[in-house]
Amino acid sequence: MRFLGAGGQNGRLMVSSIWTLAWPTVLEQALQTAETYVDTAMVGRLGAGASAAVGLTTTSTWLINSPMFALSIGVLSCIAKADGAGNPKKVRTAAAQSVWLTLLSGAVLGVAGMALSPVLPIWLGVQPEIYRDAYLYFFITSMPMLMRAAMILFGGVLRAVGNTRSPLIVNVIANLINIVLNALLIYHPTKLAGGLVFPGLGLGVAGSAAATAIAQACGGILMFAAFCRDERLTPRGFGLRINRGVMKECVRVALPIAGGRVSACFGQVLFTGLVSRLGTLALATHTIALAAEEAFYVPGYGMQTAASTLAGNAAGEGSKRALRRSSLTITALAVGMMGGMSLFLFLFPSHVMRIFTRNADVVNQGAVLLRMIALSEPMFAVAIIMEGVFNGLGDTRAPLFFSIFCMWGVRIGGTVFCVRLLGLGLVAVWGCMIGDNVTRCVLLSVRFARGSWEKCFNRPCNAPDESGLDAA
């Protein structure tokens, strides 16, 4: 489904086309964030130690998810370009490669996650009293990794052809399963009004992990079913043969993204380790504030996929004008939405923190952090959309270097200096995190303004030598 023609569109029609593509993904991100809110709030009622145990492994989960997200973007870029160029055969060939990439990444990362789970909390400098919960949470959530890979990769494939509603429906179902199972597995039986008893197994943090694992398994199965039902993508009647040319194209785009995400997530793991050394209360505050902030950048990440898809379509059509107009329009929309939401975050940070915890110290310190991050949200929106544009074009090497520099030079380097040398606390740590986001925004914006992406238009994406469709 091509949303932008080479001749471009008037402003109102372009916004309408962008919103048609983006709103299901924005809503999907919002629902996933709502699930995170519910998870964090439910676990938070078990105490600061439980919040810290789950939060400690969150960045490691991001790390292990990184290769799968990168592969999904590689496939999305390839499919979007082929779709923009009117090459349905290559679209289906690239979709077939996603099946192999799902099987490989899910199996390898699942085994790695379960194998590392006993030692990961030790590496992160966990407090002894929360070691068991942190270990069990990461082990259990790593078990359905193949299904998690299916949700991520097949969701990306569906979005690449403009089918954003199916991933939305699947994620709604998975989120509902997770919330219901959280209530059943985390808490002990609870007496309700009228003498009724709400059942519960009282598994605590392990129950939250089990709920997440079951929900991901169901989501993976449903996402694969949606993939098979889409006539533009289904392997039925087409086969699943590995095509070296198309596979190489997908992996070529994915490798720098994977490198950037893995580097960033290793940085996040180290970042969390530095925070954990400030104490359990600081770690709980950091974890809850991060979860609270997540809702306020939902529009940016929701529209990032639309930016990638439209950029890939424009490259396939060979229209630089369509790329500029769609990219700038999406950026303006994301900045407006995230800027408006960040105003609420700035004005009412304590109210947001109280959703997750009743601990007054956590609420007060978290409110300071949220007010700080609210000021940088519009610049973060620009960085999110620009990253999506470059991903859709397959221009991923320079953003890789930007990611490494910002994470390790600005965030980690600044945090080590502030915490280890100056003896500062969590406010300084979040200042370094904000510096990372602002620097990334500037670097990506300058690259886009200079037109460095124009090399992506030099070769037509439907050329046989590039697609590999003529290979034996």
Task: Output the pLDDT for position 10.
Answer: 59
Band (pLDDT 50/70/90 cuts) for residue 33 is low
Is 19 a domain residue?
yes
Is 271 a domain residue?
yes
For residue 191, list its beta bridge partners: 197
Is 141 a domain residue?
yes
pLDDT digits (tens, 9 = 90+) for 374-430: 999 999 999 999 999 998 888 888 888 898 999 999 999 998 998 888 888 889 999
Compute the distance between CA of residue 176 and CA of residue 178 in angstroms, rounded to an integer.
5
> End-to-end distance of the chain based on CA atoms, in angstroms?
29
Mean pLDDT value of segment 75-84: 87
pLDDT digits (tens, 9 = 90+) for 143-158: 999 999 999 999 989 9
Closest Cα to residue 328, out of 310, 347, 352?
310
Is 472 a domain residue?
no
Element housing 198 (H / E) = strand 197-198
pLDDT digits (tens, 9 = 90+) for 312-331: 888 888 888 888 888 999 99
Domain that holds residue 78: 11-467
Task: Output the pLDDT for position 121.
Answer: 81
* Residue 360: other Cβ atoms inside 10 A: 10
Compute the distance between CA of residue 297 and CA of residue 301 in angstroms, rounded to an integer.
7
Per the structure, the count of domains in the chain is 1
Is 4 a domain residue?
no
CA 193 to chain centre: 40
Is 381 a domain residue?
yes
Is 145 a domain residue?
yes
Is 276 a domain residue?
yes
* Residue 235: other Cβ atoms inside 10 A: 15
pLDDT digits (tens, 9 = 90+) for 40-74: 677 767 776 777 777 667 767 777 888 898 898 88
Burial (0-12, 13-18, 19+ Cβ within 10 Å), 372: middle
- Dihedral sign for Cα atoms in the order 234, 158, 316, 94: negative
